[in-house]
Chain A
Amino acid sequence: MADVTSGPGIFAQIRLVAELRWRILGNLVRKRNSRLDLIGLILAAGFASMFVIGLCGLFWWGAYFSVSTGHFAWLLLLFWSICLFWQAFPLFVAGFGAPFEFRTLLRFPLRFSAFYIIGLAYGLADFAAVCGTCWMLSVAVGVGMARLALFPPALLVIFLFIWMNITLERLLSSWFERLLARRRTRELLFGLFILLSVSAQFLRPAIIRYSEGARSSVSVLRVISYLSPFPPSLAGSAVIAAGEGHPSRFLISVGALMAYTAVLSALLWRRFAAQYRGEELSEASAPLQTVRGLSPTLTKERFDALGFLSPQLAAILTKEIKYLARNGFVLISLLMPPLLVLLFTSQFAGKHPSVTHARISADSFFPGMMGYLILMLMTPAYNCFAYEGKGIRNYYTSPVRFREVLLAKNLMYAAILIFEIVLSTALLSLRIGLPSGPVLAATILALVFAIAGQFTIADWVSLSFPRKLEYGSMRGQRGSGVSIWIAFGVQILLAGICTLILFAGRWTGNPWFPSEAFAVLAVASLGGYFAALDALSVVAEKKKEVLIETLSK
């Protein structure tokens, strides 16, 4: 019989979980032993704090301004914007990776009431919730400073609104958990987030071009007026009613807000109860397509497009293609270069540049844009074993020299680069036209020089400073600090050399001089690349223990 006669109380259980989370956070920070990583973490925390504090000031000012000047309708906008951020942000970042899963606590003798409260407390610990709470309290302070008598009712409303938001966020998250249990959904959500972020960059040029002085703020308030039955409008209306001296309207709005909170709490109670009973959502529960009785003879023979390569090279290249096709993040990120070409052409060139009044010529824009593409697309090559995981051992147990592994990986990157460069060039030619012959030739040869030169260094960096990355996850998904700095340094150096040579064409008065210089450099760079492959195989052999250990973690 167990020695435990009575379990710890609810608050003791909650305290234990809080301590556990604190320890997990502490250990995470401790693991970042690299100084560069720690600096990155501190910088990120600094930026996040500035974001939160900056917007606290904005919300405080918004609330103060609307109450002191009698523009109460603006309060609705504040409540809506905070609510939308609070609910939408966690759903997007959920696709970035699985944080500590509090349901694992169910293995312990945890009471349902404690489980429910811990679940809610987790909602309060989210970044969005911390932001929302800080911003809502700033609104309360702003309202109170503008009119002191309004502070108590505003605080009551804001307390209710925060509670409602936490409950709603937990409810939405638990529903989304069903979807996010599948890797593919997580990847798609992340892709959607990236595309939305990039698409948002088009708003400014579009607004500048098409708004022509229209007052968008008035339109937003008009739209919000149709949303009066929803919680943010109810919360705002309650404060407005208190400010305008309508106690009955205040009570109705607060009552409706409480009713929302009660209904959402009941729904959340049901969801948590299902989880408490042992509902399990996991990757494995995703439906699988099964085929029974597949005979070996039924498999169709397909044309071997890589038949001209050695079996080993073809095998690695095929594997790389399969990995690319299954990595939603990377696939979607391949849409970025053409999107950015469109963005930059709309801002700096084309018929209606939104940033500069004088459009930049194709001769200047084309080399710059290609350089930017290389900067973006070459970075992953500096950690080219990132997604191998434990599979890296295959390269060491197979009868293959590492030069073939590197060659296959570089071929894959080269194919992607060629595709992206051709696509972006086509877009550029449509938007701003092609540059002159000498600049086009010089740029293409400069690309060969820069790509081949970088492959040699990137392969060495990949072998020397590997970092494992996870599929379907964004949290902490970046190369090692050293590899990032080396990649940055190399690209700056190459960009400097290329710029110097391009300008030398103008200074010497010979427009074909850059092409000739880049042709020589491209040949030297390609020769150096192939010559270095054997030396890199030796490096791979020397570094195999570090590589296997790092990627197999």
Chain B
Amino acid sequence: MSESAILTENLTRTFGALTAVDGINLSVTAGQFFGFLGPNGAGKSTTIKMLTGLLAPTSGRIRLLGMDFAADPVAVKRQIGVVPEGMGLFERLTGSEYLNFVGRMYGLDREISKRRSDELLHFMQLADRPKSVIADYSHGMQKKLALAAAVIHGPRILFLDEPFEGVDALAAGALKALLARMTERGVTIFLTSHVLEIVERLCSHVAIIHKGRLVAQGSLDELRAGVSARVSSDDSAPRTLEQIFLSIVGQGGGTQSQLEELSWLT
């Protein structure tokens, strides 16, 4: 049996009376490209924040690469890379300065950090504005920089919260190729995105969270088979991830009734 890169046990997070994440048990095998899906407010970002140390769980355990996050967070953080929600960049640094900063924070030698920064800036096509501070970058450029920062230290697990949002098609293609190569080399990628086509194309395994609870987890084929078993006729059997997703978390007929309310618009 393969080693679990990410393992959570009854992971729960509450905010006052609201339970944002309700006892989820995730298991992601090393080297998987894992898609984490859910509607708005389902608890995706809260989960990813807990997995990356940005948010303390109310209860439950997180083990990354076999290490207990709570016991030795510094050792765990050395092995992971993160593109958090909102990116979390130091906007008054230039792209090169920021990458150097991140490299050094992960303990890279100054020379290695500089060399990798230059290479990543070239790969991300960000090298032609060396004097611009990040605040002057476009949203897509900031996203690419956040991705570069997440991989500069060669992480074994990569957490990506909406990584392709605002990134142009050219760069997105290069990034997808890069991520695919990383998984081939054993890196685990944990990705959230609202663009289901991207998840379907990139991810081998998927989990769906809805109202704080994990409602599905497995490979795409397993999910497809699971949903097919629930519907009676072959014609309505889901084929795409979007259909699987809607059949699991969709509110049957809800969209039609909502459209009827907006008849003045349609």
Chains A and B form a bound pair: yes
A-side residues, CB < 8 A to B, are: 3, 183, 283-284, 286, 288-294, 296, 299, 301, 304, 307, 311-312, 314-316, 318-319, 322-323, 326-327, 387-394, 396-401, 471, 541, 544-545, 548, 552
| Minimum C-beta distance from B263 to chain A (A) | 13
A471 to B91, CA, bound (A): 10
**CB contact under 8 A between A400 and B105, given known A288-B131, A296-B119:** yes
Most chain A CB within 10 A, of B52, B93, B105, B119, is at: B105
Closest residue on chain A to residue B134 by CB atoms? A391
Can you identify 14 A-B contacts, CB atoms within 8 angstroms? Answer: A3-B264, A294-B127, A315-B105, A319-B101, A322-B93, A322-B97, A387-B92, A390-B86, A390-B89, A392-B88, A393-B84, A397-B82, A399-B74, A399-B107
A239 to B26, CA, bound (A): 83
Query: For residues 77 through 123 of chain B, which have their beta carbon under 8 Å from a beta carbon of chain A?
Result: 77-78, 80, 82, 84, 86-93, 97, 100-111, 114-115, 118-119, 122
**CB contact under 8 A between A290 and B128, given known A315-B101, A394-B105, A399-B106:** yes
A399 to B104, CA, bound (A): 10
Closest residue on chain A to residue B90 by CB atoms? A391
Most chain A CB within 10 A, of B55, B90, B131, is at: B90
B133 at the interface (CB under 8 A from A): yes
A318 touches B53 (CB 8 A): no
**CB contact under 8 A between A396 and B92, given known A294-B128, A294-B130, A296-B115:** no
B133 touches A284 (CB 8 A): no
B56 at the interface (CB under 8 A from A): yes
Q: Which residues of A contact B76 (CB under 8 A)?
A: 399
Q: Which residues of A contact B82 (CB under 8 A)?
A: 397
| Minimum C-beta distance from B170 to chain A (A) | 17
A399 touches B88 (CB 8 A): no
B128 touches A394 (CB 8 A): no
Q: Which residues of A contact B118 (CB under 8 A)?
A: 296, 299
Q: Tell me which of A283, A288, A397, A471 contacts B53 (CB under 8 A).
A: A397
B242 at the interface (CB under 8 A from A): no
A sample of 7 more A-B contacts (CB under 8 A), given A319-B93, A322-B93, A387-B92, is: A291-B128, A299-B118, A315-B101, A388-B90, A389-B90, A393-B88, A399-B76
**CB contact under 8 A between A391 and B129, given known A315-B101, A399-B74, A399-B75:** no
Q: Which residues of B contact A400 (CB under 8 A)?
A: 74, 77, 105
Q: Which residues of A contact B52 (CB under 8 A)?
A: 397
B14 at the interface (CB under 8 A from A): no
**CB contact under 8 A between A390 and B87, given known A294-B130, A296-B122:** yes
A394 touches B102 (CB 8 A): yes
**CB contact under 8 A between A289 and B127, given known A388-B90, A392-B88:** no
Closest residue on chain B to residue A315 by CB atoms? B104
Q: Which residues of B contact A289 (CB under 8 A)?
A: 129-132
Q: Which residues of B contact A391 (CB under 8 A)?
A: 88-91
B-side residues, CB < 8 A to A, are: 52-56, 74-78, 80, 82, 84, 86-93, 97, 100-111, 114-115, 118-119, 122, 127-133, 135-136, 264
A471 to B53, CA, bound (A): 28
**CB contact under 8 A between A399 and B119, given known A387-B92, A545-B56:** no
**CB contact under 8 A between A322 and B92, given known A390-B86, A397-B54, A548-B54:** yes
Closest residue on chain B to residue A286 by CB atoms? B136
Q: Which residues of A contact B77 (CB under 8 A)?
A: 397-400
Most chain B CB within 10 A, of A283, A292, A315, A319, is at: A315
A394 touches B130 (CB 8 A): no
A3 to B264, CA, bound (A): 10
| Minimum C-beta distance from A379 to chain B (A) | 21
| Minimum C-beta distance from A216 to chain B (A) | 45
| Minimum C-beta distance from B85 to chain A (A) | 9
Q: Which residues of A contact B109 (CB under 8 A)?
A: 311
Closest residue on chain A to residue B109 by CB atoms? A311
**CB contact under 8 A between A315 and B100, given known A296-B122, A397-B53:** yes
B128 touches A319 (CB 8 A): no
A301 to B100, CA, bound (A): 13
B107 touches A312 (CB 8 A): yes
A396 touches B54 (CB 8 A): yes
B101 touches A397 (CB 8 A): no
Closest residue on chain A to residue B97 by CB atoms? A322
| Minimum C-beta distance from A304 to chain B (A) | 6
**CB contact under 8 A between A401 and B74, given known A319-B90, A326-B133:** yes
Q: Which residues of A contact B53 (CB under 8 A)?
A: 396-397
Q: Tell me which of B75, B104, B132 contacts A312 (CB under 8 A).
A: B104
Q: List 8 tightest A-B contacts by C-beta distance, closest first.
A: A315-B104, A296-B118, A393-B88, A391-B90, A399-B77, A398-B105, A399-B78, A311-B104
Q: Which residues of B contact A394 (CB under 8 A)?
A: 88, 90, 101-102, 105
Q: Which residues of B contact A393 (CB under 8 A)?
A: 54, 84, 86, 88
A400 to B264, CA, bound (A): 56
A391 to B54, CA, bound (A): 12
A307 to B118, CA, bound (A): 20
A387 to B90, CA, bound (A): 9
| Minimum C-beta distance from A298 to chain B (A) | 9
B110 touches A304 (CB 8 A): yes
Closest residue on chain B to residue A326 by CB atoms? B92
A398 to B107, CA, bound (A): 10
Q: Which residues of A contact B54 (CB under 8 A)?
A: 393, 396-397, 544, 548
Closest residue on chain B to residue A314 by CB atoms? B104
Q: Which residues of A contact B135 (CB under 8 A)?
A: 183, 283, 471
B92 touches A323 (CB 8 A): yes
A316 to B97, CA, bound (A): 11
Q: Which residues of A contact B108 (CB under 8 A)?
A: 311
A294 to B93, CA, bound (A): 19
**CB contact under 8 A between A471 and B92, given known A296-B119, A397-B84:** yes
**CB contact under 8 A between A292 and B128, given known A388-B90, A391-B91, A399-B74:** yes
| Minimum C-beta distance from A248 to chain B (A) | 59
A289 to B133, CA, bound (A): 11
Q: Which residues of B contact A319 (CB under 8 A)?
A: 90, 93, 97, 101
| Minimum C-beta distance from A525 to chain B (A) | 29
**CB contact under 8 A between A312 and B97, given known A289-B131, A319-B90, A400-B74:** no
Closest residue on chain B to residue A304 by CB atoms? B110
Closest residue on chain A to residue B150 by CB atoms? A397
Q: Which residues of B contact A397 (CB under 8 A)?
A: 52-54, 77, 80, 82, 84, 88
A541 to B128, CA, bound (A): 38
| Minimum C-beta distance from A548 to chain B (A) | 6
Q: Which residues of A contact B130 (CB under 8 A)?
A: 289, 291, 294
Closest residue on chain B to residue A298 by CB atoms? B118
B91 touches A318 (CB 8 A): no
Closest residue on chain A to residue B105 by CB atoms? A398
A289 to B136, CA, bound (A): 12
| Minimum C-beta distance from B6 to chain A (A) | 16
A93 to B129, CA, bound (A): 32
Q: Which residues of B contact A315 (CB under 8 A)?
A: 100-101, 103-105
A400 to B74, CA, bound (A): 6
| Minimum C-beta distance from A467 to chain B (A) | 18
A322 to B109, CA, bound (A): 20
| Minimum C-beta distance from B74 to chain A (A) | 5
A412 to B180, CA, bound (A): 42
